[in-house]
Amino acid sequence: MKKQLLVAAIENGTVIDHIPAEKLFAVVNLLHLESMKTAVTIGYNLQSEGMGTKSIIKMADKFFTDEELNQLAVICPNLTLCIIRDYEIVEKRTVCLPDELRGIVRCTNPKCITNNEPMRTHFHLHGSNALKCHYCNTVVSLDDVRLVERP
């Protein structure tokens, strides 16, 4: 059993599970893990039943806001998130894209009002793999979406 325990348990925090290996570093960048002060464990290319390999990130004392979850869902839909308290999983949820995203994604149309005025972007889910700008109707594929820079 101990051999299978590839990643140490955490007392309180969040585990992001089932990250496709090719998305791991995008998630690492998005979460700004390099500036976290608490323990972070990154597991890359771990063996996974059913998925071949997977990657996971464990963050001690880190709990996500809804905005952070939406950002995660944009770059990596269908993640599993486990909330850990006192070494137990108290909540397990799949992160899905909401129908509307505000202030998360940039519009690719340079003439869009959101690229020219200090205002939040607003997108609607368009099919299963794209977003549509509320203001100019530009459709942006989730594969080449750009996130709004956060301060």
Residue ranges binding Zn ion (CB under 5 A): 107, 109, 112, 133, 135-136, 138
Least distance to Zn ion, CB of residue 55, Å:
33
Which residue, 14 or 70, has its beta carbon nearer to Zn ion? 70
Least distance to Zn ion, CB of residue 2, Å:
53
Which residue, 44 or 135, has its beta carbon nearer to Zn ion? 135
Spell out the alpha helix ranges (H) of the chain: 24-30, 66-75
Least distance to Zn ion, CB of residue 126, Å:
12
Query: What backbone phi and psi angles, to 5 degrees, belong to 139?
Result: -100, 125
Query: Exposed e or buried b for every residue in 115-128, given b needs 16+ CB within 10 A?
Result: eeeeeebbbebeee
Which residue, 64 or 135, has its beta carbon nearer to Zn ion? 135
Contacting residues for 139 by C-beta, under 8 A, at least 6 apart: 126, 130, 131, 132, 133
The amino acid sitting at 48 is S
Question: Is the Cβ–Cβ distance between 136 and 109 less than 8 Å?
Answer: yes
4/148 Cα distance (integer angstroms): 39
Which residue, 112 or 142, has its beta carbon nearer to Zn ion? 112
Least distance to Zn ion, CB of residue 98, Å:
18
